[in-house]
Amino acid sequence: MTHEPDDLERASVIADAELAVAEHLGWVIAVLAGAAMQLAWAQWLVSALAAAAGYGLATFHYQRKAAKAEDAYHRAIGFGKYGPPRPRPAEKKNKPS
């Protein structure tokens, strides 16, 4: 199923916006999870791990979705790793002295 580049660009922008919202909420979740673990176990390591896990779990799905949408758009327009290969610069030959 082929899509127009404009549709893919729009999908990429929407996925980036969803990721931005998830990142903002991820920080809130991280702080709340860290605070809850600090109150429950009073250990900073457990709190830090809970905060990192909360942020990671809140944003993981959206990071992958945004990456896939951007990749599809780049593939459609031939940009980045899907673009034409760049010519390599000519090597300088050492002249014997």
pTM of the model: 0.81
For residue range 22-41, what is the model confidence (pLDDT) as tens digits?
Answer: 999 999 999 999 999 999 99
For residue range 12-25, what is the model confidence (pLDDT) as tens digits?
Answer: 999 999 999 999 99
Structural domain spans, the chain:
5-77
DSSP state of 83: S
* Burial of 43 (C-beta count, 10 Å sphere; 0-12/13-18/19+): exposed
